[in-house]
Structure 1
């Protein structure tokens, strides 16, 4: 009976168990389980210790050793933005498309960190930019963290600019939710659909809700519908606070001018994949610059 009580107490009173240090965090042994399977290889990769990485691989550590959450050393090196470690792991045969249990790839982690050098290196190793997972994607990571150069690299390699993930929405919606103005600008100039957000919630709804007046102006410039309604039947104006900057930005806009309507129509007709060809049209430079918002 005493043995049973002792065994039960181990489960009922975890706060009384000894404390340990894992990854710089104080935790008891139950909380430490998620850290206990991290190898020295993971630690070296995350902290950018190239010489230690080389030594561990030479000693027989497998380059694609995974944690319980399927995190690889390459994931860790990318998350830390350590270019030399990323290059060494890739040259040693690391899986460039490894996917963790939360859907993250090394490319996702590089985009989250904002290391354009690592993103370029990963892409040069033929990493997939079209995720099949509904939890995360490289372009969403770059957009919401406002890493403009990473986003431009992904777009140049053919990333799906209007990919909508459940709950997360499109990259443009994510950027609006995070008030990532630089990435909103890149996405719109690259031809992202200004109306596609998250379900019936448009990017304009997100920008208004987050108080991004500069982003509201930009979305309206690219043809966002200020009268669209979300699933609750609310317009962007309804969501704006009294006398707020976003309300002023919405209210000062009148009907679109004829020139603006023509620009939106031509851009829509060209489509995202042919927008770049506008610069080669037989039109005066001032008209081409107008079409391209330059």
Structure 2
């Protein structure tokens, strides 16, 4: 009789949902407590790999979460096709009080299928309160995802100022390379997406080795490529060289100015191009040749405001088509 009763209380719907799961999903605390007393399986998985605890977390039922955790529910099991834990989901939903409870029991460094931790999720979605809780609980602020992105990079990309400040104030390293394809730092993401206040903060803490050093990439490249005028202006004002470094290997371009000219196919004279020329960017023979060969005079007139035309023998007629028509070799954040 006892066995039949247990089988009955753990019977499932066609979706694999138990009575305990449905009660937890809807926040029926008294029902969940009664079912557990009747020996309901607290960790029963549904067909889509959810469970009572995950359902309670997802729907924000903090009292049910506390009950289930207190009764020994598995807190570190992965759920859904993305392999998120309950902590990942609580952070994503911004349930800060729930995160505070789960952080006492969960593995703070549990990874999803992209090797992303709950702290990374907090930085990505701007959940600053959850981020602070996880930091204080001891979560690693310099964790890296499968593609080497860091929480600081993703927060800088998404424009979450509060998260950027929290991370930097608690030891996040702004000089960790965050890409397998090129030496990308958080400052590149902030420059690319035009998050000026974040960019200003990162300029102060980012090693200037990325400005002109060989093998590195100036953030001017990403700012110019996205025509983020504010970013270009701030970087130049803070002393970043308008010529940067040659980045043929990493990016496929000689200078930020060549990127601006590459973008000129859709907009002959961009604001970024104007700023670079005004800041004293050097023109190579290829760039002079391109300016002289264009159908419109806007570009040449702009250049002549800042430069003299060089002697004819210094110009080359062997203008590289790949310089103007080649695609970027680096992967920008999406």
TM-score, scaled to structure 1: 0.66
Pick one of 34, 43, 56 that aligns with 1:64.
Answer: 43
Query: Shift of the alpha carbon at 1:237?
Result: 0.9
Unpaired runs of at least 5, structure 1? 1-34, 256-294
SS in 2 for 1:219: helix
Query: Does the aligned pair in 1 maintain the 2:42–2:68 contact within 8 Å?
Result: yes
Matched, 1:201 2:184: yes
Aligned to 1:223: 206
CA distance in 2, matches of 1:58, 1:189: 46
Query: Does the aligned pair in 2 maintain the 1:208–1:239 contact within 8 Å?
Result: yes
Cα distance 1:144–1:47, how it changes in 2: closer, same or farther (>3 A)? Answer: farther
Aligned to 1:238: 221
Q: State the Cα deviation string for residues 48-69 of structure 1 (Å, max 9, x = none).
A: 3323333443454311111234
Cα distance 1:83–1:248, how it changes in 2: closer, same or farther (>3 A)? Answer: same
Matched, 1:187 2:167: yes
Query: Shift of the alpha carbon at 1:216?
Result: 0.8
Aligned to 2:28: 49
Aligned to 2:131: 151
Aligned to 2:196: 213
Count of paired positions: 218
Pick one of 60, 74, 93 that aligns with 1:113.
Answer: 93
CA distance in 1, matches of 2:94, 2:57: 10
CA distance in 2, matches of 1:243, 1:122: 41
Query: Shift of the alpha carbon at 1:103?
Result: 2.3
CA distance in 2, matches of 1:210, 1:73: 40
Query: Shift of the alpha carbon at 1:226?
Result: 7.8
Query: Does the aligned pair in 2 maintain the 1:42–1:76 contact within 8 Å?
Result: yes
Structure number with bigger Rg: 2
Query: Shift of the alpha carbon at 1:228?
Result: 5.6
Aligned to 1:254: 239
CA distance in 2, matches of 1:158, 1:217: 28
Query: Shift of the alpha carbon at 1:225?
Result: 4.1
Q: State the Cα deviation string for residues 237-294 of structure 1 (Å, max 9, x = none).
A: 1221446222222222127xxxxxxxxxxxxxxxxxxxxxxxxxxxxxxxxxxxxxxx
**What is the correspondence of 1:276-291 to structure 2 with a 5 Å cutoff?**
none
Q: State the Cα deviation string for residues 90-136 of structure 1 (Å, max 9, x = none).
A: 12220121212422111111111112211111122x32112255533
Matched, 1:131 2:110: yes
Moved more, 128-137 or 200-209: 128-137
CA distance in 1, matches of 2:211, 2:113: 26
TM-score, scaled to structure 2: 0.59
Cα distance 1:227–1:117, how it changes in 2: closer, same or farther (>3 A)? Answer: same
Aligned to 2:321: none
Q: State the Cα deviation string for residues 191-250 of structure 1 (Å, max 9, x = none).
A: 111022333321112222222111111111223548369xx9753212214462222222
